[in-house]
Amino acid sequence: MRFHPRLPNDTATLLLLASFIIVLVGLSHGTHDAASQHIEAISAIASVFLLGVYAVWVIGYLRDGRAEHRPEAGADGAREGLPFAGAVALLALGGVGSAFVSDWFVSALRPSIDQLGVSEQFAGLVVVAIAGNAVENVAGIVLASKGQADLAISVVKNSVAQIAAFLFPALVLVSLLLSSHLTFGIAPVYVGALFLTAISVWQITTDGNATAFEGWALIAAYAVLATFTLYE
């Protein structure tokens, strides 16, 4: 499968930046250096920079005036598609709806987790991840099978970059208004897994060419991580 490398490279850069922050926080926390006493402040400052980089990335794509990214003109000369404000409103409503559905899904999953005896990490990284991303994963496969490789890569990778470079830092900043503060500090095994995943995705997509071998390699990496979470 061949595709234009610009978007995959940009999203890989966002993932590597988020991983850079998480790895530094994890190393600081693990070594108990002086900075480890200020993880909350460091996470808040890093979130601002990460959101700033994300904003620059998004604005650059919104201003991209290349013809291939513009809606096709209709028979009467009018361009088809939603106006920008309408698209943003629908996106916001979709995000709020997804948040409620995710909360209901996790709550409904709790009895099954307790009955089966699986760890919360396995439920989150396997059960919830596969179910929550089912639509975009199927869409990516269908688009790729139709030869729309660029759109398939965009559907799959953009959601990952948006979680890492937008939602995560945004939640860190919002949590400052609450009693419990979120940080970029996570368990060491997941720090390593996230960083290695970001490198793997960058290495596989940077050349604008994807093979079945590379796909199976990513699936194997995910299966190994799922095995780790099963025994957590």
| The model's pTM | 0.75
Percent of the chain with pLDDT over 70: 92
DSSP 181: P
Backbone angles phi, psi at 73, to 5 degrees: -75, 140
Amino acid at 167: L
Q: Are 120 and 113 in contact (CB under 8 A)?
A: yes
CA separation for the pair 191, 111 (Å, rounded): 29
pLDDT in tens, 160-217: 778 888 888 998 999 999 888 888 888 888 888 888 988 988 888 888 888 889 889 9
Strand-pairing partners, residue 73, are 79
pLDDT in tens, 140-155: 888 888 888 888 888 8
> Can you read off the two tokens belonging to residue 87?
């698209």
Cβ-proximal residues to 82 (8 Å cutoff; 6+ apart), any chain: 90
Average pLDDT for 74-81: 52
Is the pLDDT confidence value at 75 over 60? no
